[in-house]
Structure 1
Amino acid sequence: MRKIPRWLARAPIPVFRLGIGGLLTKRLVMIEHRGRTSGLIREVVLETIKIDGDDVYVISGYGWSSQWLRNVKADPRVRMWSGWGRGVGALATILPRAEGLAVLDDYRTRHPGTVRALATGLEIEGFTVDGPLPEDITERMPLVRIRPRR
C-alpha cells in the first residue's frame, strides 16, 4: 500500500486552525484526537465519504496502522472541523461491518472516479467500482462516523 507523503497530508491543518476550512470544500474534515499512549492532542485531515445531516463518515484507507484510528478507538471523544469556523466536540464511532459495507457501497456508486483513483493510488485490493465488495474490506479499511455532541 502506498502512503501519502506526511507533509502533504498535514498541509491543510493550518487552514482548518484558521477557521477557513471551507476553502477546502466539504469533502475534507479535520479531527483533533488524543494520543492513546502520550495523551497529547493530535490532528489529522481526512476525506469524507458521506455526510448525513450533522454526521460525517470517514474511512481509514491505511486500516489499523493509522494512528488516528487507533487513538479514536481508545478515546472516541474528538473535535471536528468541517467547513468554516471553529471545531466542535464530537464522538467517533467505528462502524460495524454491515453498516460499513453499506456506506462504502453507496460511496463507490456516487464517486466511481474517486474510487478508481484511490484503489489505484493507494493499491487497495478489492476496492472497485464493479462487483461485490470483499467481505473483509471494512476490517482492512474501517469506517468511522463522527457525530457532533449536543
Structure 2
Amino acid sequence: MTRLADLRFRAATTVQRRLANPLMRRLPLHAVLETTGRTSGLPRRTPVGGRRVGDSFWLVSEFGERSQYVRNIRVDPRVRVRIRGRWYEGTAHLLPDDDPVARLRSLPRLNSAAVRVIGTQLLTVRVDLADRGRR
C-alpha cells in the first residue's frame, strides 16, 4: 500500500470511528451491519451504505480486507443487518471477483460517491438474509 493510501485509510477510519459512525448508528433508518468481534466476541455495529435486493443486502467496503467488519466476517460470517429500522439475520459473503465499481452504481448514490473518493481497496460484500427479520 502506498503512503498516500495509508494516510487516506488512517484519516478516514479516525473520522468514521470518532464522528460519523456514532452519529449514523443512531439514525433509525440508516443501514447498520452487526458483526461479532473476532477477538472480543462482542457485537460490533457499523453504519453502511447498501441496498436490499430480494433476499440479499449488498454493500461495498472502501478498505476491503483492512476494514474491521471485513476482518470480523472472515472469522464469523454470521451477521445482522438493520434495514429501515428492522433487524435481519444473515450470512455475509466476501466477493473479491465481483466488480465493486459496477456494484456501486446500483447502491445509494451519496454513499457510493464517498466510497469511490475515500476507498483504496474496494470489496463487494453480499449478505444473504434469513427469511424472517427480528427486532
Gaps of 5+ in 1: 22-27, 126-139
Match 2:33 to one of 31, 44, 52: 31
Greater strand fraction, Structure 1 or Structure 2: 2
- Contact 2:56–2:128 under 8 Å retained in 1: yes
Of all paired residues, the percent bearing the same amino acid is: 24
Shift of 1:90: 0.8
Gaps of 5+ in 2: 1-7
- 5 Å matches for 1:79-90? 79-85=80-86, 87-90=87-90
Shift of 1:14: 2.3
SS of 2:69 mapped into structure 1: helix
- What is the CA RMSD across the aligned residues, in angstroms? 2.6
Shift of 1:96: 4.1
Aligned residues: 119
Distance 1:53 1:36, change over 3 A: same
Deviations 1:107-126 (A, max 9, x none): 33787886555433x1x46x
1:8 aligns with 2:17: no
Shift of 1:84: 2.9
TM normalised by structure 2 equals 0.72
- Contact 2:56–2:126 under 8 Å retained in 1: yes
Larger Rg: 1
Amino acid at match of 1:33: T
SS of 1:36 mapped into structure 2: coil
Distance 1:112 1:73, change over 3 A: same
* Whole-angstrom distance in 2 between the partners of 1:110 and 1:32: 19
SS of 1:149 mapped into structure 2: strand
* Whole-angstrom distance in 1 between the partners of 2:82 and 2:115: 23
TM normalised by structure 1 equals 0.66
